[in-house]
Chains A and B, each alone.
Chain A
Amino acid sequence: MAKDDRQSVRQIGGELVIPVLGVLFTIYFFSTIWNSPWTAQVSTFLVGSILLFTCGLFFLRCFMLLRSGEANLGFGTLFTREDLSTGRYGLLATTVGYCVLIETFGFTLTTFAFLFLSMVILSKARRIVFTAMISAIMALGGWAVFIWAFDTRFPRGIFENFMETVLG
């Protein structure tokens, strides 16, 4: 019974993240326009004040829920054990790596590495050869369509420069 009660309690820690971010951002924003001309202030003071007011109401609602025991400050809606088992954290790490490395290594190589690693993590290292093939096809296909055919402004690196030299 006690276990059932614990499970039915709403975890509102995660729900507070966006309002807290909203309040912090609004305070920072106000600090940047405090000494600015009225044209820079009028609209944002209006919008920011409403945001602070709605966040205040939300905090009040959360406080009432906490006081009545209907909620706790858990982050169960945001972080779960499944995040580890599904490979979500791994995917986040490879995504950050993708953003960092693409400037140095260019679109094609970094995309291949990102796709391969991410797919390996998400599939728990099953069908590695197939994964490598898909990653290579997608990366080369992207290069062929967007860079070679349409000369789109994708980040360029060793592979793109080499192919440019080869293809003239």
Chain B
Amino acid sequence: MDASTILLEVFLSTISYWYVIIPTIFLGLIVGGVPGFSAANTIIILMPLTLAMDLEMGLVFMVTLYCAARMGAGIPAILVNIPGTAGAAATPLDGYPMSKQGKGQQALAISFVSSSLGGLLTTIVALLTMPILARVGFYMHSVEMIVVMLFGISLIASIAAQDMLKGLIAGFLGLMIGSIGTDVVYATPRGTFGFLELYDGVPLIPALVGLFAVSEAFIIIEKKVIVNKSEDGTTPTANWHDTFEGVRISLKRWWHIMWTSLIGLVIGVIPGAGASIASFVAYQQSRSFSKTPEKYGTGHPEGLIAPEAANNGVTSGTLVPLLVLGIPGGATAAIMLVVMQFHGVSFGPSLFESQPEIGYGMFMAMAVAYLLMVLTILPLSRYMSHVTTIPTIYLAPMIISFTLVGGFVPREYMFDMYLALGFGVLGYIARRTGYHVAAILIGVILGPLLETYFLRALKKSDGDITVLFSSTLGNILWVALAASLILPIVMDMRRKKQGVPAE
């Protein structure tokens, strides 16, 4: 049987599970949208159900939930400035300003289209280039990973563009907070204030909930509704035109979706790297090579497309090492591994010959899920955007209660709720005094990862710092990092010299 026949058969088989896929999409949107919940948690909760299903159906369910949760995390990030997961932490940078301008529906449409197209495209690319992609993980050692992290952390400098000192203070404070916990080599407790709960480091969900959700709830009560009133004093109302406009904007920027989602795919392939790194890196690169970098952070569609396309590109990336090498690229992929092993699936290249319905089926399930997702969710963007018109006297307490409890869920420590509240106060002070909470969060997320890889590299080289420039791929990445930081400045200077106004 040739490949096209196999793929057609797998496609028909996958689409026949539409009755599983569609309800799972809505479940995924909910669990992705509530901080503290995730596809991984939900799959664990529903593990008995998943194991009871036949393997194909179980995989379709898990893959769909994974993709939908990733997309769902962007919805509250856009509408109420609350990323559902750390992977959507870069989404509100431009998504939320669009909502405040009354373009929430348009922003959702952009998010849905770029997520779906990004996910769909990377699924196809992953399928075609799987043998090559599977080797990426082997080439990415600690040195290379340090440079990848620095790509993400350099976003702090961009955020700091308006007030460099304040941006750097916020970013480095985040990095210090991210360093709390035991060190990775000798497990020496550092900066924990004596709390055992902090020995594993600062948990991400309470930090996310506090910095974004709780602080935002305390800010929005100044206004009656989230959305700003238009010039004539009326509140903008949602209409279908906004959805179509969002689709048009996204399709017009198809190239942008393509290359930012490929960043997500490559980062997703690396075990241990995740959607948060991918979305920060994609946002930073998108801004660096934009002709209008000054528009980023003000509600610029490209600033929304980049993180959404990238974090959905990660989903297919994580499947590559799972299927080809049996190494899960993330938490959800690890649970999929358990379910597949329960059903006796053997991993490796032979999987695609012995059980093509499983190997190709997972990617096909992803492709079908993205296709059905865009068709089912896009029409709902009009109704979802009404969240921005709910009076804040009702919305703010709801945000606080549900997100604080979301902070409790992952570890079941009451301490995490207090921690989320503490981060909320920090976030509130930051917002009121002109410090960017996203810069703090980037530090909290990427700081510990950077330290881990940094120490690993130093340990391997007996403390020789020149190890950072010892690999060919690492050096290429260093040059790329330097270029991505310097080129925009050079381009901007050239533009100013030639007297060409920014578009």
> Knowing A15-B434, A40-B186 touch, does A29 contact B45 (C-beta < 8 A)?
no
Mask, B415-436, CB within 8 Å of A = 1, is: 0011001001010011011110
A51 to chain B: which residues have CB within 8 Å? 169, 172-173, 175-176
Which of B168, B218, B222 is in CB contact (< 8 Å) with A54? B168
| A166 interfacial by beta-carbon distance below 8 Å | no
| A2 interfacial by beta-carbon distance below 8 Å | no
CB distance from B452 to the nearest CB of A (A): 9
Are B190 and A47 in contact, with the CB atoms below 8 A?
no
Taken together as a complex, chains A and B put the C-alpha atoms of A54 and B394 apart, in Å, by: 40
Are A39 and B396 in contact, with the CB atoms below 8 A?
no
Are B191 and A155 in contact, with the CB atoms below 8 A?
no
| A157 interfacial by beta-carbon distance below 8 Å | no
A14 to chain B: which residues have CB within 8 Å? 429, 432-433
A47 to chain B: which residues have CB within 8 Å? 172, 175-176, 179, 447
Residue of A nearest to B402 (CB): A142
| B170 interfacial by beta-carbon distance below 8 Å | yes
| A61 interfacial by beta-carbon distance below 8 Å | yes
Residue of A nearest to B465 (CB): A42
Top 8 nearest A-B pairs by Cβ distance? A40-B183, A118-B397, A122-B393, A51-B172, A39-B185, A29-B191, A43-B451, A40-B188
- Among B168, B394, B404, the most chain A Cβ lie within 10 Å of the Cβ of B394
Q: Is the interface of A mostly helix, strand, loop or mixed?
A: helix
Are B221 and A37 in contact, with the CB atoms below 8 A?
no
**B residues apposed to A, CB below 8 Å:** 37, 42, 45, 165-166, 168-170, 172-173, 175-177, 179-180, 183-186, 188-193, 214, 217-218, 221-222, 392-394, 396-398, 400-402, 404-405, 408-409, 412, 414, 417-418, 421, 424, 426, 429-430, 432-435, 447, 450-451, 454-455, 458-459, 463
Residue of B nearest to A25 (CB): B176
Taken together as a complex, chains A and B put the C-alpha atoms of A29 and B64 apart, in Å, by: 43
Number of interface residues of A (CB under 8 A): 63
Which of A48, A122, A154 is in CB contact (< 8 Å) with B405? A154
> Knowing A36-B188, A42-B458, A78-B429 touch, does A118 contact B396 (C-beta < 8 A)?
yes
Taken together as a complex, chains A and B put the C-alpha atoms of A107 and B409 apart, in Å, by: 12
Residue of B nearest to A38 (CB): B463
